[in-house]
Chains A and B, each alone.
Chain A
Amino acid sequence: MRRVLCLWLPQLPLERLARKGDLRLEGPFAIIAEQKSAWRVTHMNAQALRAGVGPGQSLPDARAICPELLSEPADPVREKALLYALRRWADTLSPSVALFEPDMLLLDIAGVDHLFGGEDAMAAHAVERLSDIGFSVATGIADTQSAARALARFAAPGQTIAPPGSMRAVLSAMPLEALDCPDARRTELRRTGFRTIGELAEIKQADLARRYGIEVVNGLAALLGYRPDPVAPSMLEPSYAARMSLPEPIGLLSDLEEVLRRLAGQVCQRLQEKGMGARSFSLTVRCVDTGDHHLKVGFAKPCNAPEQIIQQFVHPLDKLKIEFGADWFRLWAEQVEPVRSRQMVLDHAGAETDATSQLLSSLGNRLGFDRIERFVPHASHLPGRTYARVEASRHEASENWKLPGRGRPLHLFAAPRAITVTQAGRPPSEFVWQRRAYHSQSIEGPERYTPEWWQDADLRTRDYWAVQTEEGPRFWLLTYPGVKPAQWYLAGRFA
């Protein structure tokens, strides 16, 4: 038998601000959100309610009713974070806790309520604890989670606990809002004349399903306990972070490094236990006079070795100006990924890659990871397209390089350079490039390539000639056959 405790925090957004000590809440105050293309009131405090402000009112209306009303847009991200924090607190009540956004916690309390002296004592305990930290809360205990939610929201005080197996009796007076189904269905039900769950439960389920759809029947069955509706506990995301606050501020680089060493040790131990590593670490240093400073380092591959983290932070820490010292530190891992460990002893190449990726991290943190690249092969027949340059830290080295059938230049100019032809020919027998004259001695070619029509805007056919000059350098000349007068370019140069 499942038993579910629902904790509903109806004023969560307001209480979040109140806990921060927001003085605006002393007068009429409302939380607003953009709904149905207007700013509307979603939550208001007691003064605003007394002045006539109600949920769903548009902000101009509410201001007209209550001119001294102050408001604040809802902040769903922070509210969710607060609910998530409360979910961690709720671990003290039950091992299996689920979030029901935006403002409910669902606890599976089967077999734990006796630890608190029964269900009602447990609910009272939760209410007391939450009100101690500034939250108003409504509770509901029932066999299924939808029933518990319905009780928390709609039951009269003192009747919030449904005895096991009595869902239908307890819930029959509940309004249709207690039912989990799309709003359109609920409107249809209300138009038909249904007002309570009890009236709905008297209708044959098959008829309900045919007329209003399966969602209504499913919602009703879940509510009344005819079908299982368990709490699906959310996993706590493991947090790879550590912080340290000191009684006295410190400023020496060696002290900072010692703090970092301890923090990195904790974080890395947690990462190693899970077989994870992080691609970036952030360190917050709170100076006593200048506030928080955020330092960040990246890694070329997921890292969970404290000494590597310290090594990368040495430079940013060195640059940090600390005059009166810092007394609070927090290190946390971001972009956590699994680490594939390699056998170090037998796999010599693997050890080499580790050393290389450390070097990439050092260079990348200073220059930017986008500045460190490597070549990977690319399927194409066009010279200059047969390879791509990619970020080295994101791509492994490729081993699928094919040796080209013909000689290829070592330098391939990104854009072909125009040359001045002084003695025409095919290819020119004399040309000038960078104010030096070259005479062709022997030629090879042409190699003719048609462009990739699905890629290119430039659809000219290209002829490449390898030209050995009498002066020594060997060039790769390019021309576009069919273009009159013939234009010659330098596409690259050989070794």
Chain B
Amino acid sequence: MSDISYKTHINGMVFEPGRYDSIALEEGVRLARGKLHEVCGEGAIGFVASLIGLLDGPVIWVACKDQPAELNPEGLAQFFDPGRLILVKGINRLDVLWAAEQALRHPGARCVVLEPGDGPDLRESRRLQIAAEESGALGLALIAGRAQTSAAHTRWQCECRKDESYPAAWKITKSKDGQHGRWRVRYPNRMRGEYAPGLMPLASATAA
């Protein structure tokens, strides 16, 4: 992929892929900034919270009506400072997508989480992707319903496990730059001074 160099012109601005750095989860596992990433599964919120803990700056969390009402800042405090959260309540899916696009495009947002219900489709995700490229913000789409074919950079499947020491399992189910893998995950805990999740790679055959 890296030998294909292209530039995109949008609104007179030049975007180059790889302009922004990426967030390292573990050796070789990186999440690119300025991209949209999709997160599915029961453990999706743990994934999102762990990632926010690795970033700094305000986090815009866009959801429909009362979904953010269920977020518990006390629980999130284990991962990051809940004062960084800004909750945006849209009335419908369109509002959520609009607000997320605005937020992604804006230089003030470092991380935007959106809960569109079903995953964004090709057109929607492409718009979000372009918006994220403009500002270099990290876009995370929490998909509760059906995931669709989309222009997102990666898609993660996150599950809960009954194991006390590794209570989550993450898996890359789609990646545009060819990353793949499965991990067992120990959540970070700020109370114990841990800020990054602990990842234990698994061979695909023994994945949880």
Binding partners A and B:
yes
Q: Which residues of A contact B (CB under 8 A)?
A: 352, 354-360, 362-363, 366-367, 371-377, 383-384, 386-387, 389, 392, 397-399, 401-404, 407-414, 441-442, 468-474, 492, 494-495
A469:B106 contact, CB within 8 angstroms: no
Q: Which B residues are CB-close (under 8 A) to A472? A: 42, 159-162
B78:A411 contact, CB within 8 angstroms: no
Q: Which A residues are CB-close (under 8 A) to B49? A: 410, 495
Q: How far is the CB of B129 from chain A (nearest CB, A)?
A: 19
Q: Which of A352, A357, A375 contacts B57 (CB 8 A)?
A: A352
A470:B162 contact, CB within 8 angstroms: yes
Q: How far is the CB of B157 from chain A (nearest CB, A)?
A: 13
Q: How far is the CB of A307 from chain B (nearest CB, A)?
A: 14
24 A-B contacts, Cβ less than 8 Å apart? A357-B108, A358-B106, A363-B103, A367-B91, A371-B88, A372-B89, A374-B87, A383-B72, A383-B74, A386-B74, A389-B69, A399-B81, A403-B190, A408-B74, A411-B71, A412-B75, A441-B162, A468-B162, A470-B162, A471-B162, A472-B159, A495-B45, A495-B79, A495-B167
Tell whether B60 is near chain A: CB-to-CB under 8 Å: yes
Known: A352-B57, A412-B75, A473-B42. A373 touches B87 (CB 8 A): yes
- Expressed in whole angstroms, the Cα–Cα distance for A399 and B80 within the complex equals 12
Q: How far is the CB of B77 from chain A (nearest CB, A)?
A: 5
A373:B89 contact, CB within 8 angstroms: yes
Q: Which residue of A lies closest to B44 (CB)?
A: A495
B42:A401 contact, CB within 8 angstroms: no
Taking A401-B73, A495-B45 as known contacts, 14 extra A-B pairs with beta carbons closer than 8 A to each other, sorted by chain A number, are A358-B106, A367-B91, A373-B88, A387-B82, A392-B86, A404-B78, A408-B72, A408-B78, A410-B46, A411-B45, A411-B75, A441-B162, A495-B43, A495-B49
- Expressed in whole angstroms, the Cα–Cα distance for A176 and B162 within the complex equals 93
Tell whether B143 is near chain A: CB-to-CB under 8 Å: no
A474:B81 contact, CB within 8 angstroms: no
Q: Which chain B residues numbered 23 to 72 have a C-beta less than 8 Å away from chain A?
A: 42-43, 45-46, 49, 57-58, 60, 66, 68-72
Known: A372-B88, A386-B74. A401 touches B160 (CB 8 A): no
Q: Which A residues are CB-close (under 8 A) to B81? A: 399, 401
A372:B73 contact, CB within 8 angstroms: no
Interface string of B109-143 (1 = CB under 8 A from A): 10000000000000000000000000000000000
Q: Which residue of A lies closest to B47 (CB)?
A: A495
Q: Which residue of B lies closest to A397 (CB)?
A: B83
Q: Which residue of A lies closest to B42 (CB)?
A: A473
A410:B88 contact, CB within 8 angstroms: no
- Expressed in whole angstroms, the Cα–Cα distance for A354 and B107 within the complex equals 10
Known: A366-B98, A367-B95, A372-B86. A474 touches B108 (CB 8 A): no
B70:A412 contact, CB within 8 angstroms: yes
Known: A410-B46, A410-B75. A359 touches B159 (CB 8 A): no
Tell whether B102 is near chain A: CB-to-CB under 8 Å: yes
A372:B167 contact, CB within 8 angstroms: no
Known: A473-B160, A495-B168. A355 touches B76 (CB 8 A): no
Q: How far is the CB of B107 from chain A (nearest CB, A)?
A: 5
Which residue among B90, B159, B160 has the maximum number of chain A CB atoms within 10 Å of its CB?
A: B160
- Expressed in whole angstroms, the Cα–Cα distance for A358 and B60 within the complex equals 13
B162:A492 contact, CB within 8 angstroms: no
Which residue among B42, B82, B187 has the maximum number of chain A CB atoms within 10 Å of its CB?
A: B82
Q: Which B residues are CB-close (under 8 A) to A402? A: 77
In the A-B complex, the 4 residue pairs with the smallest Cβ-Cβ separation, listed nearest first, are: A355-B108, A495-B46, A472-B160, A412-B72
Q: How far is the CB of B187 from chain A (nearest CB, A)?
A: 6
Q: Which residue of B lies closest to A352 (CB)?
A: B57
Known: A383-B74, A411-B71, A495-B75. A362 touches B106 (CB 8 A): yes
Q: How far is the CB of B91 from chain A (nearest CB, A)?
A: 8
Q: Which A residues are CB-close (under 8 A) to B160? A: 471-474, 495
- Expressed in whole angstroms, the Cα–Cα distance for A355 and B99 within the complex equals 16
Q: Which A residues are CB-close (under 8 A) to B103? A: 359, 363
A411:B72 contact, CB within 8 angstroms: yes
A404:B74 contact, CB within 8 angstroms: yes
Q: Which of A363, A387, A408, A412 contacts B88 (CB 8 A)?
A: A363
- Expressed in whole angstroms, the Cα–Cα distance for A474 and B166 within the complex equals 13
Tell whether B176 is near chain A: CB-to-CB under 8 Å: no
Q: Which B residues are CB-close (under 8 A) to A375? A: 73, 82-83, 85, 87
Q: Which B residues are CB-close (under 8 A) to A354? A: 108
Q: How far is the CB of B189 from chain A (nearest CB, A)?
A: 9
Which residue among B72, B85, B91 has the maximum number of chain A CB atoms within 10 Å of its CB?
A: B72
A355:B72 contact, CB within 8 angstroms: no
Q: Which chain B residues numbered 130 to 188 have a C-beta less than 8 Å away from chain A?
A: 159-162, 164, 167-168, 187
- Expressed in whole angstroms, the Cα–Cα distance for A357 and B187 within the complex equals 31
Tell whether B4 is near chain A: CB-to-CB under 8 Å: no
Tell whether B205 is near chain A: CB-to-CB under 8 Å: no
Tell whether B19 is near chain A: CB-to-CB under 8 Å: no
- Expressed in whole angstroms, the Cα–Cα distance for A358 and B106 within the complex equals 9
Q: How far is the CB of B56 from chain A (nearest CB, A)?
A: 9
Q: Which B residues are CB-close (under 8 A) to A473? A: 42, 160
Q: Which A residues are CB-close (under 8 A) to B13? A: none
A410:B72 contact, CB within 8 angstroms: yes
Tell whether B10 is near chain A: CB-to-CB under 8 Å: no
- Expressed in whole angstroms, the Cα–Cα distance for A375 and B86 within the complex equals 8
Q: How far is the CB of B148 from chain A (nearest CB, A)?
A: 23
- Expressed in whole angstroms, the Cα–Cα distance for A392 and B103 within the complex equals 15
Q: Which A residues are CB-close (under 8 A) to B88? A: 363, 367, 371-373
- Expressed in whole angstroms, the Cα–Cα distance for A404 and B82 within the complex equals 12
- Expressed in whole angstroms, the Cα–Cα distance for A425 and B161 within the complex equals 23
Tell whether B191 is near chain A: CB-to-CB under 8 Å: yes
- Expressed in whole angstroms, the Cα–Cα distance for A442 and B162 within the complex equals 9
Q: Which B residues are CB-close (under 8 A) to A408? A: 72, 74-75, 77-78
Known: A387-B73, A410-B71, A411-B45. A374 touches B86 (CB 8 A): yes
- Expressed in whole angstroms, the Cα–Cα distance for A18 and B56 within the complex equals 65
Q: Which residue of B lies closest to A364 (CB)?
A: B88
A387:B74 contact, CB within 8 angstroms: yes
Q: How far is the CB of B81 from chain A (nearest CB, A)?
A: 6
